[in-house]
Structures are given as structure tokens and as C-alpha cells.
């Protein structure tokens, strides 16, 4: 699999998603990577150093879910030793 660079959108299930660090797709993928439960959110700027927005519905919520699903399908998981 070829992954897009962080400056390019990533295509998943026929849609393009922004991979911005702190964005909804990125946060979904990160939650999956760390084996955290789904908690739809994103940050307005950089992760943990800007406002965290919780999501309940809408296109940004869908981007979080897509990021989580993408990592479940193509990504990896943090190995806790």
C-alpha cells in the first residue's frame, strides 16, 4: 500500500480526507493505533496544544470514523511491551 504524504489528502472508501495533524481523520487513526475506544474529536490546531472539539455527527465526525477504520484496515497498532 502506498500512503499519501501528510500534505496530501488520503483516499479511503471513495472519499478524500485531510490528514492534518490534530484533524479528525488523524485523531481517529491515532485512537485506533493506540487501541483506544472511539471518541470522535479533533483539535482546532496542533494536537493537545489547541482547543479539542468533541463530535456527535456531520462530515467531520465521519472523517474521524474514517480515520479509525482506515487504521484498523491498513495501519498498525502500538506494541505495548
Question: For 9-51, what is each residue's pLDDT tens digit?
Answer: 999 999 999 999 999 999 999 999 999 999 999 999 999 999 9
Query: Is residue 35 in a domain?
Result: yes
Query: Is residue 5 in a domain?
Result: no
The predicted model scores a pTM of 0.90
Query: Is residue 60 in a domain?
Result: yes
CA torsion sign, 20 to 25 to 27 to 31? negative
Domain count, the chain: 1
Query: Is residue 10 in a domain?
Result: no
Query: Is residue 8 in a domain?
Result: no
Query: Is residue 44 in a domain?
Result: yes
- Look up the domain containing 25 and give its range: 16-74
Amino acid at each position: 500500500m502506498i500512503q499519501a504524504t501528510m500534505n496530501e489528502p488520503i483516499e479511503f472508501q471513495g472519499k478524500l480526507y485531510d490528514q492534518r495533524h490534530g484533524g479528525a481523520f488523524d485523531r481517529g487513526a491515532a485512537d485506533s493505533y493506540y487501541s483506544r475506544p472511539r471518541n470522535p474529536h479533533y483539535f482546532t490546531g496542533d494536537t493537545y496544544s489547541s482547543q479539542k472539539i468533541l463530535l456527535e455527527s456531520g462530515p467531520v465526525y465521519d472523517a474521524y470514523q474514517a480515520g479509525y477504520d482506515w487504521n484498523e484496515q491498513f495501519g498498525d497498532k502500538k506494541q505495548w511491551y
